[in-house]
Structure 1
Amino acid sequence: MNASDTVPFRKSRKGTFFHFFILDLTFGFFSEYPMKNYRLYFTCMQEESQENLQRSLIVHNKKKKDQAYEQIRKLILQRRSTERFALSENSLAAELKMSRTPIREALQRLQTEGFIEIHPNRGVVIPEVSVVEVNETFALRMAVEEFVIREVAPFMTPGQIQEMDTYLLRQKEAMERSDVLEYLRHDKDFHDLFFRLYSNTLIFNTIQRVLDRFYSMGTNVLRKPGSVQRSFEEHCMIADAVRKGDGNGAAAAMHVHLLTGKNNVLSIPGTIGSVV
């Protein structure tokens, strides 16, 4: 036997110490490489352990960073847009029970997305929204959402229509409990459904950033008496057209719904220009 006979153990890294022990016990008297086999085995195991550790650390750090991102984003979105408060790395780390590293990375990501601004003396700030931005945003939503629902409504399957109706049912239940945040979550599910069915990633991601920007405003708008009821009724009108496969009718109902939303945002005192 020669040294090359043991190479497959190194390539597969599936060999165990027992394999090497038996191999050398059987052929050791005829081989001049028994100790080399042991060294080879331990070297392979050490390399594999280091690779596994590095891989685990990468996965762990990414998971922590993503968790921090989602929790901070949720924390900010659930605040009323008229509330003014400062958030810092230290306060967030304490509240979320995380180290400052994933917190810092999550805040940098949110800042890159244009969702927040970070100021040394003011903490985390949601950029002020102007009347011009409100008008431009809803103009974009009308153009895109009306187009998308016009395209998908005639081709929705019974299963997809059932999913739409499920979101409407959840909205109704949240409305009856006067749970604005829960209603808003299923409102988003309802609108997102049509984007998912259209399957255009660029459009979907663009609209998500726009909707996130106005989420905190939505909570104020829906706290206005009668707003949730009207929003739900408008969703039902959209859904009625979808069930008929009427793309133009669904687009027209969506236009009315978004126009109402824009007017409500502009009518709520303190909604424009929110600071967190």
Structure 2
Amino acid sequence: MGKSLAQAHPGVPISLIKLLRPKQWTKNALVFAAPIFSLSLLHWSLFWQAIIGFFLFCFVSGCVYILNDFFDREADRNHPEKRYRPIASGAVNPYVALVFGFLLLTTSLTTAFIFNPLFSGLLLVYFLMNVAYSMKLKHIVIMDVMIIAFGFVLRAIGGGLMIDVPLTPWFLVCTMLLSLFLAISKRRHEIFLLQNEKEGHRKVLEKYSIQLLDQMSNIVTTATIMAYSLFTFTSGRTVQLMWTIPFVIYGVFRYLYLVHMEGKGGKPDKVLLEDKHILVTVVLYGISVILILLFLE
């Protein structure tokens, strides 16, 4: 039984937090990739800088969600799920949400500038790119998935800037390819669910087909595994990182299994938390990287 609109009004402070969509924050965990590979998380001060960088990305991405909800509030009120969002449900005044978003964005960019001016500039680019995506670019075929992937690359670069750690080209290529893999899988899942009414969901879906996305996925999957394998040998760290390649292969193959055999993949962050195989693989991969860099380098 669906919840009533009254239940969607938990109070303004809670509603303002819900505007930022905390459930989406797992996407920003890529900020920790550079600190993990550099072992900077072992240094207390750099650990906190990485944490701050993570939350700054969460807040800036939340500002994009606020802007989206503000402009889509009328359409969201007629949507079976989106009508419970804080602005659409009336839990937060649209203009109060807009002011809150502006203040949060300004504070986040200022805080980032204090740590690293380049990081502040990167956050601004990330914000503007996502606004452009929401307003226009998400309707352009192929460009939509590439913008999503580039957003993850900016997160990875941001993690390096926050702790002043240089990133290798192969690391950025791996990030881009893996993000493309997830974005393409997400589009395929959407078409799979809505084959008979693609134009009723995302306009760009009518320009895709499952066959096209499968071709794109094949290319990106192969490139991802090859790029990561090369990264382990050319990262400037120990070649013993090659022992983590099986985790990457299994994780990619498991995700393909979920997409093609179980019809999942629409929400990568949800898959990560709900599929035990992928969750265990990610945990083991992270532990392996840390142990190899600590004891085999």
User: TM-score band (shorter)?
Assistant: under 0.3
Q: TM-score, normalised to structure 2's length? A: 0.26
The structure whose RCO (Cα within 8 Å, separation 6+) is larger is 1
* Greater per-residue helix proportion: 2
Q: TM-score, normalised to structure 1's length? A: 0.27
